Amino acid sequence: MDFHSIDNNSTRRIAALKQRVDSLRENDYYFYNQAVEEMLPGAKVRVRGRIMGMYASYSYLGLVGHPRINEAAKRAVDKFGTGTNGVRTLAGTLTIHNELEETISNFKHTESAITYTSGYVTNLTVISSLMGRGDYVFSDKINHASIVDGCLMSGAEFRRFRHNDMEHLEGLLKNAPADVSKLVIADSVFSMDGDIIDLPKMVELCKKYNAWLMIDEAHSVGVLGERGTGIEEHFNMYGAIDIKMGTLSKTIPSVGGYVAASKDIITYLRHASRAYIFSAALPPAQAAAANEAFKVILDEPWRIERLNQNTKQFIGGLKSMGFDTMLTETAIVPVLCGDDNTAFAMTRECQHNDVFVLPVVSPAVPEGLARLRATVTA
């Protein structure tokens, strides 16, 4: 079929995006999918033949390439090969998967844990498996897209509260029927702004209105708490969160996602979440790498100390030069630019001076709030 001869909403959307991409390329403003040619020591990368300082990495503790983690992955390949025999429920479960899930549950202080093939899929399937028509889900306005998609997919009544506004959340909870299932969901550290959810107040509201609490800890593991175990340690509120979601692709240098919770919830998800039942299991090397990474975090607490020092220095330096870093408290440091073209121009200038940082523009953030999103590592 010749799509060029068709004029409808789909082809117009494709044409509009192509026009925007072509315009960005012409102005040297296109930074999408930039390929890193080589990872180098000291938070350096080689891009387009140039060595640059890496300020766009999620490897907050610098665990990518850690010898212990690499060796664990190699041993897993030697023992199991590069793949599995199928989905987890049909011959795809390996002992390394069980070991990883036990490690996660211990790390997160829960009874049990379950792993999935990506963080996005984890939120999508867990929310839509636990909630359904007639239930209510309450989501922070700037939660990750995977949370939004999971809420929409669930078919539940979807309510969004203003960012970190607990008064607005309480109003929404108060207006929901008392006898329905309720789930409150928020990022622990917000991926575009770097600020931290008000966990103490959120826990108080969930108890008051009989709601489950689910927290996405993609950006808090390895970042929050003296030992890097996340937001409960940060607030000294162990056991306060019902469903602790996380990824295996940020501080943990692998791929996948997980949920840590009670045995009953995890057993339910093993039998009811479609992404677990119908997706291939994590490759052995990735499961082994993730398993070892959690242990390295606990064995090398100096990495968290160094990350905190580097973050404080970086934010302080930017502020002293007059840059607006918004409300960040963590290793995610937005540098507010305003309009999209300013963000593109600043990115180009940084990269021309061997600083590898990337822009975040609309629609990922509201118009007028385009920024460079820098990340600090240990």
Q: Exposure pattern of 27-41 as b/e (b: 16+ CB <10 Å)?
A: eebbbeeeeeeeeee
* 345 vs 256: CA distance, rounded Å: 34
Among residues 15, 42, 53, 12, which one has the least CA distance to residue 358?
53
Catalytic residue among 191, 249, 254, 273: 191
User: Per-residue DSSP letters for 52-114?
Assistant: EEE-S---TT--TT-HHHHHHHHHHHHHH-SS-SSBIIIII--HHHHHHHHHHHHHTTSSEEE
Q: 359: cis peptide before it, omega within 30°?
A: no
Per-residue pLDDT of the chain (378 residues; tens, 9 = 90+): 566 678 899 999 999 999 999 999 998 899 999 999 999 988 999 999 999 999 999 999 999 999 999 999 999 999 999 999 999 999 999 999 999 999 999 999 999 999 999 999 999 999 999 999 999 999 999 999 999 999 999 999 999 999 999 999 999 999 999 999 999 999 999 999 999 999 999 999 999 999 999 999 999 999 999 999 999 999 999 999 999 999 999 999 999 999 999 999 999 999 999 999 999 999 999 999 999 999 999 999 999 999 999 999 999 999 999 999 999 999 999 999 999 999 999 999 999 999 999 999 999 899 999 999 999 999
Provide the pLDDT for residue 77: 98
Radius of gyration, alpha carbons of the chain? 21
Q: What residue ranges define each of the domains in the chain, with the CATH number in brackets?
A: 27-56+301-375 (3.90.1150.10), 67-299 (3.40.640.10)
74 is known as an active-site residue: no
Catalytic residue among 97, 144, 182, 219: 219
Provide the pLDDT for residue 7: 86
Q: Which helix (H) or strand (E) element contains residue 258?
A: strand 257-261
Provide the pLDDT for residue 4: 66
Instruction: List, in sequence order, every residue forming a beta bridge with 139; answer none if it has no partner.
Output: 160, 185
The greatest distance separating any two alpha carbons of the chain, rounded to the nearest whole angstrom, comes to 61
166: Cβ contacts below 8 Å, ≥ 6 apart? 198, 201, 202, 205
Q: What is the number of residues in the chain? A: 378
Provide the pLDDT for residue 209: 98
* 196 vs 331: CA distance, rounded Å: 11
250 is known as an active-site residue: yes
Catalytic residue among 144, 234, 244, 250: 250
Among residues 97, 150, 82, 55, which one has the least CA distance to residue 356?
55
